[in-house]
Amino acid sequence: MYPHRVDVPPRFSDVDPYWHLNNVRLMEYHQEARLVFHRLLSDAFDFERERTGRVLVAHVSVDYLQEVRYPEAITLGVGILRVGNSSYTIATAMFQNGRCVGLSNTVMVNATREGAVALPAELVTVLNRNLLADDAL
């Protein structure tokens, strides 16, 4: 379903008194998966190549579907949900014990100091190769 998978080991320091992983820390797991995904994409598109522009986080949404417990393994699926003119949306889904326990969407905007600018054509091509299949939505 998701073009990429990222394993994130649960950390004891993220445990609350009920042996759940803290919801704020779970957002960091989604962030970690997003960063690993960008590193994977950098083989095909160098995000650091153009110093005049940058890709910024514009919006993050998180849905907590079930409790996430320590110390069971966590895997995140990562893919592109949408590609626009100057932005794209990365979708992550968190899995534990074969169940989806959380979802997150992050809107990334290509920008300069003056504001949003069109995504480079090469980046659009790379992003489109990582689009989520319709059955993943």
What does the chain come to in residues?
A: 137
What is the per-residue pLDDT for 27? 95
Q: Is 36 exposed, middle or buried (0-12, 13-18, 19+ CB in 10 A)?
A: middle
pLDDT of residue 47: 63
Predicted local distance difference test score (pLDDT) of residue 51: 55
pLDDT of residue 49: 59
Instruction: Find the angle CA(125)-CA(8)-CA(71) to the nearest 5 degrees.
Output: 155
Partners of 102 in the β-ladder: 64, 94
Per the CB < 8 A criterion, the answer to whether 131 and 83 are in contact is: yes
Instruction: Summarize the confidence of residues 109-126 as an average pLDDT.
Output: 93
pLDDT one-digit tens code per residue, 9-34: 999 999 999 889 999 999 999 999 99
Q: Is 0.95 surpassed by the pTM of this model?
A: no
pLDDT in tens, 85-113: 999 999 999 999 999 999 999 999 999 98
- 34-74 tens-digit pLDDT: 999 999 888 777 766 555 678 899 999 999 999 999 999 99
* Tokens, residue 26: 């779970």
Domains of the chain: 4-136 (3.10.129.10)
Cβ atoms of 62 and 68 closer than 8 Å: no
